[in-house]
Amino acid sequence: MKTIVWDVDDVLNNLMRTWFEGYWVPLHPDCPISYREISENPPHDLLGASKSEYLASLDEFRLSEIAKEMPPVPEILAWFQQYGSHFRHIALTATPLCAAPVSASWVMCHFGQWIRTFHLIPSPRQGEKIVIYDQSKDDFLRWWGKGDILVDDSPVNVIAAEALEIQTVLIPRPWNQSRLTLAEVLDVLTELAQ
């Protein structure tokens, strides 16, 4: 049985879009871009904000009720309902340590029928001192040695996983230039997972 490694934010959910449209824009009505114009992640330069201002806003959002109630991506949930039982699944996310309990709870609430483990690469925050086991997702995947397919929205993570000879699926988002639709990507995932 193959093991699929799932990123959480912007793969299983629409974190960036929900944060941007429901949290950032209402507080910054003069924001110069739309969600579709977020061509880089992190997008602080595009927003005309400092990286620390962007991260503070995103972290505040991650701990909000809006984030806790964020629905899963419908097409991803439908894929799990149809194909999820044919594979093992883990969540592998890069999020700040303060938001990890909320993220883990969200994953288990919506995908716990299939995803049984939650792994974290803590996103560093200024002034925070934590033990670091892995610097990146590929560090974790190299150590763990059991992932067959990585599903992520970051081209950097996809390239790094491919270097480890892990098959990859890039979820289309404005910042990654994917040329496939989400439906096409899920078809590719189904074929890879067979």
The answer to pTM > 0.75 is yes
- For the chain, the 3-state helix, strand and coil shares in percent, each to the nearest 5, are 50, 15, 35
Average pLDDT over the chain, rounded to an integer: 96
Q: What is the mean pLDDT of residues 35-53?
A: 96
CA-closest candidate to residue 88, choices 144, 142, 143 = 144
Q: What is the mean pLDDT of residues 164-175?
A: 97
Domain extents for the chain? 3-14+72-193, 16-68
Spatial separation of the C-alpha atoms in residues 103 and 117, rounded to whole Å: 12
pLDDT at 193: 72
CA-closest candidate to residue 12, choices 148, 122, 107 = 107
CA-closest candidate to residue 14, choices 50, 30, 38 = 38
pLDDT at 127: 86
Q: What is the CATH code of the structural domain delimited by 3-14+72-193?
A: 3.40.50.1000
pLDDT at 194: 73
Instruction: Convert the pLDDT of each residue in 6-28 to its tens digit.
Output: 999 999 999 999 999 999 999 99
Q: What is the mean pLDDT of residues 136-152?
A: 97
Alpha carbon 18 to chain centroid, angstroms: 13
